[in-house]
Amino acid sequence: MKKIYWFCFFAVCCIYCFSQQYEQMLNKPYAERVTELRDLYKHFMDLKDSTVVISEIEQIENLARREKDDEMLLEMQLFRAYYHSASVKDGHYKSSLNQLLSIAKQAKEKNIKNIQIRAYRNIAEIYWNHIKDYELAFEYYILLENMLNEIHPENYPDMAEDLLRVGMAYYFFQDYPRANSYFEKVIVIPETEFNTLAISSAKNTLGLYYQKIQDYDTSDDYFRSVLASPFQKSVEQWEGIAKGNLGANLYYRGKYEEAVPLLEFDYKKAEQVNDYGLAAGAMTILADIYLKKNQLSTSKEFIDKTRTYIQKANAPDRLRLLFPVMSKWYGASGHTALSDVYLDSAVIALKKYSDKFSALKILRAEQKNNRQQRILEQARFDLEKQKSVFQKSMMIGIIILLLAGASFYYLSEKKKQKIKDLQLQISRQELETAHKELMGVLSQLSKTTRSLSEKNKLIEQLQEHSGQAKDAVIAQLQQSMILTGEDWIEFQSLFEKAYPGFIEHLKKIPPKLTPAEIRLLLLFKLKFSLKEISHILGISYDSARVSWYRMIRKLGQPSNISPTELLELITAD
């Protein structure tokens, strides 16, 4: 009897505690209970038993009905839809999407903007992360953004996080100007304990953008602003990343000694949280730095560890950055064959990465076209319904037919324009691919130039001593410094893709230029110096200089004209 009594007493206490715990969230503005709601969501998602989750939700709903809190009732509906979408295993998200659309509609009718916005956010995330319909995801991101324009960050603490999501979507498709506009909106929102991580993420991504365009000073400012966050939570999470990015900027500037401690801090921090992809990024740069310092054993240690981490992180895209370092390492170690193998691997890895991104862009274009087709089909269906309703009236029927004809013509022309736009986008992608291929050749030519310079120094050292064996080595080195005719044919083909018509334009300039003079101008177009060109063409520096002055006299230009000025004159003609 006593056991039953104590059991009942314990049950009543649990119910009372539960009520007290959740009653304090009722009938409050969203901004005042957002932290508690986020903890509640986490609590529910951590529970393994779905029946316990549903039971607790129902208890909260009963409390909300008793206290007449319509917003909390709708909040629990939103969580049910979120929980259902997270539990989907067969890829069928239609039910979750319908629930979220219904919740968004109810929230709009009741003017509960925070729930309407978050319903749109969840819909966009399902389309983006699970269905991979990027065009539909962008449609809901735009709806979300329009709603955000109607409210103030103080009333909706998720604003920084939501704007960041939209910006990252555009950043993913390399629409940097549009992406940056969202990030700049994020960083001007007053920073709080709740939104600090989103604001730091926006600052870091802006820093990465300016790093891409080699504006390292602006990039540094953004990374330092991440470290200057007044909230310890943000500093702890972003310190390693921001310092690693500052180290990368120093590396790009050639300040290797200053870069090393920052990059080491980054990869060690990443190791502590098992973020192997992030660690691999920092260690790839460290491997190259130690290679440049001729510390081959240390460089190899980082190369091996980086490759292991790339496998652990399942991040094969990072191989496009590691393979060039490995190629240089094997070249510096005297393993020419392996150096060539990894150089080829680097080209293949880069092509795979480019092809994957191009495929995503084409997929989005196709999705956009398909979306337009569905809109047209719905319009036709609606038109047919209108016809069936009004076909008893001849006059109205004639008007409908006229409207249908005009609509069909308009939609047909619009469809043709969409197809033209898609073809133009594909052509641009082909041009971008050709330009990337050319950049790969230019990178290889740059490496070849450095190699030729090193070989030149070696020849000069060897020529100071006599001996048949050394004479043979010198002859072999001199032979390896000259690019073959096949190299030039492939180079000109890629150059033509990147700069269409440029070579033909040079051939038409009077007086007629020789093939050697055209080669000279092509290499000047690519910013090579006269000394580098002499190595590439396999001639002495003096011969290259004489060829240059002969050509400018031939073209009737003053002897002090620079290659850049000459090219500007030629292209202006």
Residue 268: pLDDT band by 50, 70, 90 thresholds?
A: very high
> Could you tell me if 69 and 26 are in contact, meaning their C-beta atoms sit under 8 angstroms apart?
yes
Distance CA(498)–CA(565), nearest Å, equals 21
At residue 388, the pLDDT reads 57
| Any domain includes 37 | yes
Which tokens hold the place of 201? Answer: 């993420």
Within 10 angstroms of residue 235's Cβ, the number of other Cβ atoms is 16
Mean pLDDT for the chain overall = 83
The average pLDDT across 298-313 equals: 95
| Any domain includes 181 | no
Q: Is the Cα torsion angle 102, 104, 108, 112 positive or negative in sign?
A: positive
| Any domain includes 130 | yes
| Any domain includes 306 | no
- The domain in which residue 147 lies consists of 17-86+94-157
Q: Is the Cα torsion angle 210, 216, 220, 221 positive or negative in sign?
A: negative
At residue 437, the pLDDT reads 65
Residue range 352-370, pLDDT digits in tens: 887 776 776 666 666 666 6
Distance CA(199)–CA(504), nearest Å, equals 51
Residue 17 has pLDDT above 50, yes or no: no
| Any domain includes 146 | yes
| Any domain includes 310 | no
Report pTM.
0.62
| Any domain includes 552 | no
Residue range 402-458, pLDDT digits in tens: 776 766 766 767 777 777 777 767 667 766 665 666 566 556 655 655 565 566 566
| Any domain includes 341 | no
Distance CA(519)–CA(538), nearest Å, equals 12
Task: Count how many domains the chain has.
Answer: 1
Residue range 69-93, pLDDT digits in tens: 999 999 999 999 988 888 877 778 8
Distance CA(284)–CA(288), nearest Å, equals 7
